[in-house]
Structure 1
Amino acid sequence: SYLQAERDLRGYDAKLHWIHATAHAADLLAALASSPQLTQKESAGILSAVSTRLATAPDVFTQGEQDRLAAAMLAVVRRPEFEAAKFEQWLTAMQSEDRDVWTATTPQQLARYQNHSYLYRPCSHVWRLSLTCRT
């Protein structure tokens, strides 16, 4: 996907101003996730793209990208055909990976931890709310 292939992860550049490719791609994914035409496979692809972007970003996102990535994920979570068990597995795996970062940290692992952490906060809040609303 474009989000996975994009290598220019700058948010703001003093000369070029806003570049923000990750945030703009996340906005597009959120809009697509809101479409009734989106298939379950395509919804899963959105979650996979966001997850891969987080796992491969060499730096910490600092310009609000994580909030917009979270919005794309949450647009998928709110879909009626959403598979909650798979999302819970992903969150659990992410938390486990983040706990392990403190034993042998490289700059890339620390960036991944920070990006996970910043994305996890809004995701977990809305996830808990969605579970409450479903019961």
Structure 2
Amino acid sequence: MNSKMSVQPFYSETGQLTGVWIPAEKWLKHQDDLENILLKQEKKSALPAEPLAEWKNFLMYWDFNYPVEKKVECKSCGSETSDWTEDNPKKFHLRNASLGGLVAFMCLGCQSRVTKKHFKDHILYECSDLTCEIK
């Protein structure tokens, strides 16, 4: 093995890449970032189904003084969309929608909880521990 090479690819007898060796010191230094990158797809596929029936029920009984807004924004990482139902790939995963006006999402960029509290005349966004009011 080349002593200057810190990451070593491993190949099968047929030349197929089968794995990669990363020195422990590099893994420990970058473990959180590497796990987020390497396990990102697993985290997405492990999500429960979105409660779309709750969302449809929320829309059916809409009685606020403003039109339905499908915009979602995460103040933790800056991810945003004008319509979370149309994104491909998805940026936000619906977690809950209640008739009381609470709609909660998980940001798929940073896994923060993004909550929209609908009141009669405004929406209050809560993004993890950050709060921003949108009128």
Q: What TM bracket, shorter-length normalisation?
A: under 0.3
Greater Rg by CA: 2
Instruction: Decide which structure has greater strand share.
Output: 2
Q: TM-score, normalised by structure 2?
A: 0.23
Q: TM-score, normalised by structure 1?
A: 0.23
Q: Which structure's relative contact order is higher, taking Cα pairs within 8 Å and 6+ residues apart?
A: 1
